[in-house]
Every structure is written in structure tokens, then in C-alpha cells.
Amino acid sequence: MASEGPVADAARAAFREWMDAKGHAVDNARNAVEGLNAAFDAGALNRTPVLGAMLADLETALQADDGQRLGGKSAEAARFIMRAISRELDNA
């Protein structure tokens, strides 16, 4: 069952604001994931199995070796996965 109430709505809105923010998609995705994990930890949203899998995929896309800067493919993957997470958040 999806989380309800103003705190859950605010957590969803905050994720979507990071998703749509200007700036580098990889940086925005990292901030969005951090906020989403905080919402899960606080109990504002439920971490569904589907969201867990999507977040694992996103974290893989955001990994970089020391000193490596992530570019186009990581940014595109981050945007794609974040759109999917945004849709799934309505079930969290």
C-alpha cells in the first residue's frame, strides 16, 4: 500500500524537483537518491521491491572510479532510471 499524507507527498515532490533540476543529471540523481533514502529511513515512504531494484540500478550507473568523471552514458542512464522511479513513487 502506498504511503499517504503530507510527508509522503513532500518526499515525492522533492525527488521530482531534483529530477527536473537544472544542472548535471548525475549530480541531480545523487541528490535525489540521498533524499529518497532519507525519506525511506524516516518512514515517510515505503521501499518497494521494485524501487529497491531501480535504486540499485541507479547506484550502479552513478559509480565512478577514483578521479573519473561520469559523462553522457551515465547521465542518460540516470535520467532514464529516475523517470521510472518517479512513476513508481506513487506506489511507495
Q: At what angle do helices 25-42 and 49-61 cross, to 10 degrees?
A: 150
User: 522511479: which residue's cell?
Assistant: 85
Per DSSP, which regions of 1-92 are E strands? none
- Quick: pLDDT tens for 19-47: 999 988 888 998 999 999 999 999 999 99
What pTM value is reported for the model? 0.81
Quickly count helices (H) and strands (E) in the chain: 4, 0
Instruction: Give the span between the Cα atoms of 45 and 30, in whole angstroms.
Output: 18
Share of the chain above pLDDT 90, in %: 54
What's the pLDDT score for residue 66?
A: 55
User: 521501499: which residue's cell?
Assistant: 47
What's the pLDDT score for residue 31?
A: 93
